[in-house]
Amino acid sequence: MGTAISLDLADDLPRAELDELADEVFRWLREVDARFSTYRADSEVCRFDRGELLLSEASADLRLVLERCADLWGATDGFFDGYATGGLDPSGYVKGWAAQVASDRLLAAGSTNHCLNAGGDVRVRGLSASGRPWRVGVRHPWDPMATCLVLTGSDLAVATSGGYERGHHVLDPRRGTPARGLRSVTVVGTDLGLADAYATAAVAMGAAGPAWLDRLTDHHHAIVTDDGRLLHSTDLPLA
């Protein structure tokens, strides 16, 4: 898919051990790509979508993802929709979920200080190499070389969805047309799969998105509207 992954391991561990941790992360993410990519005709997702694979034959990961997508469809009034594009496309959950799993595995393997960025979805834990909490910028929706907010924390999942990426329009699943009103939505929580899905759903909701995000418990958010206003939770962990 060409999604860029950045991994920053800040633990004071031997180099060989860090290399092994990093290798394991990239091995997992390549495995996810092979299984869930909608661009690969032989991926498990595509085979399942074509009916060549029964649900009972699917991997535990695929069944888990399908279950979570169904839950999210209900939790978002149908605005998070793994079938929004016509066929099955759970990418809006998978990217965040895969990075979250990678971070959980790093933690279990002894890395308590790391920052993983999977195509703009960020999971940070502990402290950066400078000894302070991680500083996470939020991309400026009109300038890829700038940020519009800086968040900081030592246990954050940060996902940003937006309509600014060419070919990456978020569809309003009820109309089948690109969603309007919100240029970019950032959701901050502790589960990156949820944060990613909520951000995507809010963009799809358009004008109703801010109030919906405001009612989410345990999550913070920042929104840039199409007309350039910035709205954010009062308790957003700003740097």
Partner 1 sequence: MRRALLAITGLAASTTAMVVLKSGPGASQVAQELPAAGQPVAPAPDGPAPTDGGAGPEASPSGAASPRPRRSATRAPATRPTAGATSGARLPSAPRTSSAPARPTTRTVTGPVVENEYGNVQVRITLSGSRIVDAVALELPEETAQSDQRSQQVDDRYSGTSGLVVQQQGADLDTVSGATATSTSYRQSLQAAIDRAN
- List of residues contacting partner 1 (CB under 8 A): 1-4, 6, 8, 115, 117, 119-122, 124, 128, 134-141, 143-151, 158-162, 164-168, 184, 186, 207, 210-211, 214, 221, 224-225, 227-234, 239
Nearest partner of 171 among 139, 141, 201, 128, judged by Cα? 201
Quickly list DSSP for 2-39: ---EEEEE-----HHHHHHHHHHHHHHHHHHHHHH-SS
CA dist 100 and 63 (Å) reads: 17
State which residue, 68 or 221, has the beta carbon closest to partner 1: 221
CB of 67 to partner 1, least distance (A): 25
The length of the chain, given as a count of residues? 239
3 CB-contact burial (10 Å; exposed 0-12 / middle 13-18 / buried 19+): middle
CB of 224 to partner 1, least distance (A): 5
CA dist 124 and 78 (Å) reads: 29
Between the alpha carbon of residue 3 and those of residues 6, 176, 196, the distances in Å are 10, 25, 15
CB of 228 to partner 1, least distance (A): 5
State which residue, 66 or 148, has the beta carbon closest to partner 1: 148
State which residue, 147 or 190, has the beta carbon closest to partner 1: 147
CB of 222 to partner 1, least distance (A): 9
CB of 46 to partner 1, least distance (A): 18
State which residue, 53 or 236, has the beta carbon closest to partner 1: 236
